[in-house]
Amino acid sequence: MAAEQQNPETTRAHGGLPDLTGPLPPPPLLDLVRARGAWVREELAHGTFEAWHFFPHGSAGSAPTHVFIQPVASGDPAAVARGVTTTVLRELRPAGAAEAARRGHRRGNAERYPLAERVEELLRTSDRPTEAYLAAVALRYERLADAGNRSPVRSLVDITGLPLGTVKSHIQLARKKGLLEAVGAKAGGRATRRAHAVVAAAEAGAGDGSG
């Protein structure tokens, strides 16, 4: 029976490539796939073989782009000698590995973006453009940019249901109010400490029934 394993709390780097999350495969596999992403390990043939599924950064939950199968050092020598047979291949569960990657992705987001749930609520329900709403715009914009989204403004249009021009004006207003700041010469932006504090205060107010 296959067993999937994912540990999103482990973040290490190899070959100068950050954000390799989950259990790390053997270095030769990392050298073959020199990209950012998540690895999911799956046991095959009662632990005789292991499969390593790789999901590129930003694609957690889709099909893996690479799957490697190799013997486990403690595996049954006779089974290893028979090789990766059709029976072994039938045990592969890429869908299960994708679900493990999704779980790890969600846990990672919860740790990295602890205010994410409140941000989404503010974007959907706030009277616009309140300071809390603009702070939520700043945090969501930052998260989209961090994920490599090439058009965070258009993604915010989809999230809020507002016209493109309106969303652009809200982003400009968030910058003007000191809730969103530029990051050097790069495109995008970073939510300021003030933006985090405003959303946290809104969350506390909602929690005690005063919001």
* Amino acid at residue number 200: A
Three-state secondary structure call for residue 77: helix
Encode the chain (211 residues) as per-residue pLDDT tens digits.
333 444 333 333 333 333 334 567 889 998 999 887 888 999 999 999 999 999 887 665 578 999 999 999 999 999 999 999 999 999 999 999 988 887 876 676 666 677 888 898 899 887 778 999 999 999 999 888 877 778 889 989 988 989 999 999 999 999 999 999 987 545 568 899 999 999 999 866 554 444 4
What size, in residues, is the chain?
211
Instruction: Give the pTM.
Output: 0.52
The domains found in the chain, sorted by start residue, are: 3-111 (no CATH), 114-207 (1.10.10)
Phi, psi of 12 (to 5 degrees): -135, 170
